[in-house]
Structure 1
């Protein structure tokens, strides 16, 4: 089977399967291993769910125009996830001088207006700088960044290919 002979819809289905696998692994790390997600990890999960939903919808589309739009939307969501993961990786590599464990994600959202909560999330907390798990030298945030970048590239290629074939 030629890698380039896979339909655009199947590429989207593969992205959806990858997202399901990563979300399941995150839940395994949380509920079996006992790692609690920090606020930035939770935002990355929501970004991954967004990529998953768009990929599932796109995997069922037959019209190239709609597939092009959803490919672009998937790429944008993946870029957002990559931004959050890159910010967390930066915090892990260069932790702030004063590390506090601030409020949890839901506490921020419930107790502050969204205009104040979002900057608090991206500022990070002590939990966001901690590296509890690594694989081949990379933290969860590092691997999440690479996956989001991969999804963004594939989403962009799908959008361009679908746009050209309409």
Structure 2
């Protein structure tokens, strides 16, 4: 199986990453619209990271460059978007782990902040956290939604790493040998 994944081109890695981004957004929107769970500001920012990664993978799949530079560009851009998502989900988990007396107070809603505050101040306020981001709304198998989102981002990390490993293998002449008897 590793020798088959090793042969994946830029388009296939990007399509796999895009498909996982679509899955993550489908779950998020399903929880919002079907289960009635309103996203907190950090959840919205995590969705933006998923959308950014999905946009990188969509453009990469449409472009499908055959050179190392193209694979490296899409791999690095995808890696940045996914790393931001991992950082946001980690921050969200940290806020949820705080004792009740250390949880920041609830602030205004994200829509209101976007209307009246400059973007830099909105980002600072959201990343500082608010009481609504520290609430654990639901759990599945003992993990809160930001925990599952973090796992999703770690799985999504495979796509940009696959693109970058493709570049590395070509630069260093590495090829997986596989099992005996397999060419």
TM-score by length of 1: 0.89
Check conservation: 1:68, 1:160, Cα contact below 8 A. no
Return the alpha-carbon distance in structure 1 between the equivalents of residues 24 and 33 of structure 2.
Answer: 14
43-52 or 140-149, which moves further after superposition? 140-149
Q: 2:31 aligns with which of 11, 29, 32?
A: 29
Given candidates 59, 62, 67, the residue that maps to 2:65 is 62
Residue number in structure 1 paired with 2:76: 72
Matched-pair contact (CA < 8 Å) for 1:19–1:48? yes
- 1:116 shift after superposition: 1.7
Which residue does 1:101 correspond to in 2? 106
Normalised TM-score (structure 2)? 0.81
- Structure 2 distance, partners of 1:7, 1:136, is 36
Alignment of 1:40-59 (within 5 A): 40-59=42-61
Give 2:93's match in structure 1, choosing from 89, 94, 109.
Answer: 89
Which structure has the larger Rg? 2
Which shows bigger deviation, 95-104 or 127-136? 95-104
Q: Alignment partner of 1:132: what SS? A: coil
Aligned-residue RMSD, C-alpha: 2.0
Moved over 4 A (4+): none
Instruction: Provide the secondary structure at the position in 1 that maps to 2:22.
Output: helix
- Structure 2 unaligned blocks of 5 or more: 172-183
CA distance in 2, matches of 1:5, 1:132: 42
Deviation at 1:109, TM superposition (A): 1.9
